[in-house]
Amino acid sequence: MEISAAIKDELRRFCESFAEDRIGRIQNNIKSINDSLKSETKSSAGDKHETGRAMIQLEREKLGHQLYEAEKMRQALAGITILPSHANIGQGSLVITTEGVYYISISAGAFKKGPAQIYCISSLSPIGKKLLGKSKGHCFDFNQKTICIKKVL
């Protein structure tokens, strides 16, 4: 299958859906934990009760951090515009290399359409950092392989 710039809209929607689903799951987990904290009643076990509440509180803080990171993903997507091809790789670029196809946006995993598999990656990921700012024809070493950029859309 020939990969063209037209698929960028689908990739963006895929990433937006990924971010929204993640935010929704985290918010549901936070709600569940808040409900647990509210329904927790003081038992005669005293210390056990306080330990349980502390564990729930730690979980809530962890989920709060995950929600913050997911919101940052959503903000990163909002800053990406679907523009025509650029000479240099940046946010929103679709990059075809000798080792795979990458959409520079957020880390959302693999997007599959027919036989094509496109990896949605963050510009802060190890491969994203290597690709950023490069252009067609540029080669670089990554994980003991030489990867060459065949096309930037």
Mind spelling out the 3-state secondary structure of 33-46? HHHHHHHCCCCCCC
80: which 2 tokens?
């990406």
More confident residue, 1 or 38: 38
Cα 136 → chain centroid: 25
Buried residues in 119-147 as b, exposed as e (16+ CB within 10 A):
bbbbbeeebbebbbebeeebeeeeeeeeb
pLDDT of residue 150: 97
Q: What is the pLDDT of residues 66-92, one digit of tens each?
A: 999 999 999 999 988 776 667 899 999
pLDDT for res 87: 84
Model confidence at 53: pLDDT above 90: no
Q: Are strands 145-152 and 139-142 parallel, antiparallel or unpaired?
A: antiparallel
pLDDT digits (tens, 9 = 90+) for 7-21: 999 999 999 999 999
Entry pTM: 0.85
Residue 63's pLDDT band (cuts 50, 70, 90) = very high
Strand 116-122 vs strand 101-105: parallel, antiparallel, or unpaired? Answer: parallel
Residues 101 and 112: their CA atoms lie apart, in Å, by 11
Q: Is the predicted pLDDT of residue 45 greater than 60, yes or no?
A: no
The predicted-structure confidence for 96-143, as pLDDT tens digits, reads as follows 999 999 999 999 999 999 898 999 999 999 999 999 999 999 999 999
